[in-house]
Amino acid sequence: MDSIRIAGGKRLTGTIPISGAKNATLPLMIASLLTEETLTLENVPALADVKLLGDILGNHGVDITVSGKRSGEDGRYGKRFGLCAKEIVDTTAPYELVSRMRASFWVLGPLIARMGEARVSMPGGCAIGTRPVDIHLKGLEALGAQISTDAGYVIANAPKGLTGTRILFPGISVGATHNVLMAAVLAKGETILENAAMEPEIGDLATCLNAMGARISGIGTHTLKIEGVKELHGATHSVLPDRIETGTYAMAVAMTGGDVELVGTRADLLQSAIDVMGEAGIEITPTNNGIRVARNGAGIKPVNVETRPFPGFPTDLQAQLMALMCRAEGVSTIRETIFENRFMHVQELVRLGADISLDGDTATIRGVETLTGAPVMATDLRASVSLVIAGLMAEGETIINRVYHLDRGFERIEEKLGRCGAVIERLSS
Ligand code: UD1
């Protein structure tokens, strides 16, 4: 299993290219199930999750080509994906695949909408009602799908098709919004989704669906209105920049007291995080190509932050902000309101010398003058990258084990940071 070795203490300077957003790419790839024609996606990042989803879609019959090559050949990773679901050969998404990536559950909506049936494994370890998919299922039932569960599978049928209706989501869920939106575009009549998530990746999916012939309005708000259409057609769509990767590198630069231009991104995608970093004394300015992040000499000021659905501070940047606050001049608090138990990084940051205490959903971080390198373990995607940020400023050597989590969501991280002066290398084993 690969690990990453970082020798801390180097200021980051230069430019970092920002990739297409993982969390937009996944639903966009799934949207290819909605049409017989080819959906072409540009700016697709080279990530393990993208490859895995390619395998899952391949199982349903989606033919994927990348830069002219066929799926599975060398060069699978690329910037331009053609996805063609001319014929859906299998409406079952098996446990072995779905359990490896939660987002693959979102094939449910498109499969019912196009095929009138689907059998999709519940994501690993999840039960309806606890770590739930209840909002997804209620939404699809409201559109007329008959849903039952058997042996860990959701079985959905809509032999006469789906019918549009008004759906008030009981809680804000990114995944349920993607899933139900993709089903509603082919439903008969009008669907109104209220209390929908308004993360930019939802807007990106809706924009792509409209380019495929869907009729969605209210994009960028909590209320989406969908006029169902009989069928969708092919389209070409460029994936929006990754706001989580942007915020992650911004915090890495801030941590090292560096000065870097993040190229190919947009400030409006992460305004709440930019505001928090501004409070922390980090300079962030828009440029023609993206944004510039700098902390020249000034200390890091402590902040008090709660994670919230968009446009609030994203839970996917919580661990990274916590790493940054480990070096703040004072006491910060971070409250996690979206996911329970999303504090797996705390004990690893403490191994590097951080002073963090936990009380329920709130972490209190007392800034320390130095962090010290140590071997640490990556526990999930965002937690692992927070360890990279801490390692960049820790004295001595930090070895991060189990980096496959990083490869799920960060493209060429050691190369991007290395080009800005970080001493970072991947150790293959
Ligand atoms: C997506 C993102 C993930 C991000 C999260 C919140 C992708 C691939 N993943 O995950 O990176 O951290 O949004 O911004 O885009 N919930 C229910 N019932 C449901 C569904 C969700 O109670 O049916 C709860 C969840 O347990 C959680 C909250 O709602 O507490 C938000 O989850 P959700 O927005 O659905 O997250 P994901 O779509 O899984």
Is residue 185 within 8 Å of 214, Cβ to Cβ?
yes
The residue assigned the tokens 């639903």 is 27
| pLDDT computed for residue 378 by the predictor | 81
| Pairing, β 146-150 against β 38-42 | unpaired
Question: Is the CA virtual torsion 308, 206, 124, 51 positive or negative?
Answer: negative
Fold match, 3-19+241-427 / 22-238? yes
Ligand 1 pocket, CB under 6 A? 23, 26, 102-103, 131-136, 171, 173-176, 197, 315-316, 338-339
Amino acid 311 reads: P
DSSP 394: S
Residue 338 alpha carbon, nearest atom of ligand 1: 30
Residue 49 alpha carbon, nearest atom of ligand 1: 8
| pLDDT computed for residue 129 by the predictor | 38
Specify whether domain 3-19+241-427 bears CATH 3.65.10.10: yes
Which residue out of 338, 361, 380 has the highest number of ligand 1 atoms within 8 Å of its CB and is therefore the one to mutate? Answer: 338
Residue 199 alpha carbon, nearest atom of ligand 1: 14
Which residue out of 49, 174, 308, 385 has the highest number of ligand 1 atoms within 8 Å of its CB and is therefore the one to mutate? Answer: 174
The residue assigned the tokens 């000499």 is 297
- Cα distances (Å, whole numbers) of residue 64 to 31, 47, 91, 225, 348: 13, 15, 17, 31, 39
Report mean pLDDT in 10-residue bins for the chain, 429 residues. 92 95 97 98 92 94 79 52 97 91 94 97 56 91 96 94 98 97 98 98 98 98 98 97 97 97 96 98 95 93 98 97 98 94 91 96 97 90 92 96 86 93 92
Residue 138 alpha carbon, nearest atom of ligand 1: 23
Pick the residue whose CA is nearest to atom 3 on ligand 1.
316
Q: Using CA atoms in the order 251, 257, 259, 262, what is the torsion angle rounded to 10 degrees?
A: -10
Coil, strand or helix: which one is 308?
coil
Pick the residue whose CA is nearest to atom 22 on ligand 1.
132
- Tell me the CA–centroid distance for residue 339 and ligand 1, in Å: 8
| pLDDT computed for residue 73 by the predictor | 46
* Architecture of the CATH domain 22-238: Alpha-beta prism (3.65)
**How many beta carbons lie within 10 A of that of residue 76, not counting itself?**
18
Residues in contact with 37: Cβ distance below 8 Å, sequence separation at least 6, in sequence order:
84, 86, 232, 233, 234
Q: Give catalytic status of residue 326 as yes or no.
A: no
Is residue 22 within 8 Å of 49, Cβ to Cβ?
yes
The residue assigned the tokens 């709660």 is 306
- Tell me the CA–centroid distance for residue 251 and ligand 1, in Å: 23
- What distance in Å separates the CA atoms of residue 52 and residue 354, rounded to the nearest whole number? 35
Identified catalytic residue from 126, 208, 326, 420: 126
**How many beta carbons lie within 10 A of that of residue 298, not counting itself?**
13
- Tell me the CA–centroid distance for residue 25 and ligand 1, in Å: 16
- Cα distances (Å, whole numbers) of residue 224 to 191, 203, 204, 231: 8, 10, 13, 19
For the chain, the structural domain boundaries read: 3-19+241-427, 22-238
Residue 178 alpha carbon, nearest atom of ligand 1: 38
- Tell me the CA–centroid distance for residue 103 and ligand 1, in Å: 9
How does 375-403 read in b/e, with b if 16+ C-beta sit within 10 Å? Answer: ebbbbbbbbbbbbbbbbbbbeeebbbbbb
Amino acid 159 reads: P
Residues in contact with 72: Cβ distance below 8 Å, sequence separation at least 6, in sequence order:
none
* 132 burial via Cβ count (<10 Å: 0-12, 13-18, 19+): middle
Pick the residue whose CA is nearest to atom 38 on ligand 1.
175
**How many beta carbons lie within 10 A of that of residue 358, not counting itself?**
12
Closest CA to 203 of 269, 139, 140: 269
